[in-house]
Copies of this chain bind each other. A is one copy, B any other.
Amino acid sequence: MPKLVDVEQERTAILDRCLELFARQGYGLVRMRELADAVGVSTGKLYHYFPDKRSIADALLAHVGLADVAEAQRRISPGASRRERLGLLGAFVCERRDRLGVTLLLALDHRRIEGGDTARDALRVYRAALTDQIGGDDEVLFSVLIGMIIRGVLDPDGVDIDRHLAWLEAQAGHPDGPL
């Protein structure tokens, strides 16, 4: 079924180019024409690969969520020490801050256009990956990361990344600590 592969590739290619538009403008303000222009195709082609606008937003959230998690798991070697894993996590989050912010915006939007389960599940996937990679009590750690990312979206210059990284490092020394 070589055709199916092509279809999937096309869909993925389209989603990749839609991401920024949805994140920057929000679902309600994105027009199909804009999407088509950004992707470089006709609106007709968009409708050939997705039944409607909402389906694009749906597929997009799943797409970016999975991609991010897979990338994180590739980066954080399971054999490393807790301290090392925390360091790798910090590096990953800092580096992909923009991308993660975009994903969060997507999820927040998604929760508003649909019931909310999909967006909730996406967040839980992230959380599960975090628990899986780092272990221990990551309740507050997760909030710190989410908070840092959101703050980065609203006020990029107002977040002191280094101090967050230092805090992360400090947590490694408290194995029984809040982390």
Q: Can you give 15 A-B contacts (C-beta < 8 A)?
A: A24-B112, A25-B28, A26-B26, A26-B113, A104-B150, A108-B153, A108-B154, A116-B154, A123-B151, A124-B155, A137-B163, A140-B163, A143-B147, A146-B146, A163-B178
| Candidates B24, B127, B170; contact of A178 at CB < 8 Å | B170
0/1 string, A100-128, CB within 8 A of B gives 1? 00001101110111001001100110010
A41 at interface by CB-CB < 8 Å: no
Q: How far is the CA of A50 from the CA of B154 in the complex (A)?
A: 26
Chain A residues engaging chain B, CB cutoff 8 angstroms: 24-30, 104-105, 107-109, 111-113, 116, 119-120, 123-124, 127, 137, 139-140, 142-148, 150-151, 153-155, 158-160, 163-164, 166-167, 170, 178
Copy total for this chain: 4
B25 A26 Cβ-Cβ under 8 A: no
Most chain B CB within 10 A, of A29, A140, A153, is at A140
| Candidates B27, B108, B145, B159; contact of A108 at CB < 8 Å | B108
B residues less than 8 Å from A29 (CB atoms): 27-28, 112-113
Q: How far is the CA of A28 from the CA of B64 in the complex (A)?
A: 22
B178 A167 Cβ-Cβ under 8 A: yes
Closest CB pairs A-B (n = 6)? A28-B28, A147-B147, A143-B147, A146-B147, A28-B29, A120-B155
Q: Which residue of B lies closest to A105 (CB)?
A: B108
B154 A107 Cβ-Cβ under 8 A: yes
Q: How far is the CA of A26 from the CA of B29 in the complex (A)?
A: 9
B140 A151 Cβ-Cβ under 8 A: no
